[in-house]
Amino acid sequence: VLTLPDGRSITESAAICILLAERHPEAGLAPAAGSPARADFLRWMAFMSSVLYPAGLRFYYAHRYTAAPDGVEAVKQAALAEMDRGFAILDKALAGRDWLVGERLSLADVYLVMLAAWHPEIGKVAAAWPDIERLWARLRDHDLIRKLNAAHAMW
């Protein structure tokens, strides 16, 4: 939850990222509105929040997604397959690119790595999706991200 200056709150991590980028364009958190990379930024933020995030929820809270006493494991396996499919799509999108969108780090990169860090088989990320691992390595070495990780233990 992000509390806004007027006291209202906003939920949903992708929405928070997009709003922060819009309210602080000088920070370069996302490609500028109207730029060619902006459409990709919105595309991938929506993709990650509609495919990867809910798959993670289904995996970690599988009991919420089945009424069958023996259904939890099936929900978890389906969620893991959906995560893997989504990460494969994103890994392909990163091929030959330094960043997911545009020519510099954006919140889409941070959001992707956060979701990758939630993968229940974390060792699989490096092995199965080398371009995501390459991005993650770049973020591990990024000064600001390193400071944030030290303060918040993101990964």
**Structural domain count of the chain:** 1
Give me the pLDDT at residue 138, please. 93
Give me the pLDDT at residue 137, please. 93
Give me the pLDDT at residue 58, please. 98
| CATH code of the domain covering residue 51 | 1.20.1050.10
pTM for the complete prediction?
A: 0.92
Of 7, 6, 125, 101, give the one whose Cα is nearest residue 47.
Answer: 101
Give me the pLDDT at residue 5, please. 94
Give me the pLDDT at residue 146, please. 84
Of 93, 83, 95, 94, give the one whose Cα is nearest residue 124.
Answer: 83
Domain residues for the domain of 66 are 2-152
The pLDDT profile of the chain, 155 residues, written as one tens digit per residue, is 999 999 999 999 999 999 999 999 999 999 999 999 999 999 999 999 999 999 999 999 999 999 998 999 999 999 999 999 999 999 999 999 999 998 999 999 999 999 999 999 999 999 999 999 999 999 988 888 888 878 877 67
Burial category of 143 from C-beta neighbours within 10 Å (exposed 0-12, middle 13-18, buried 19 and up):
exposed
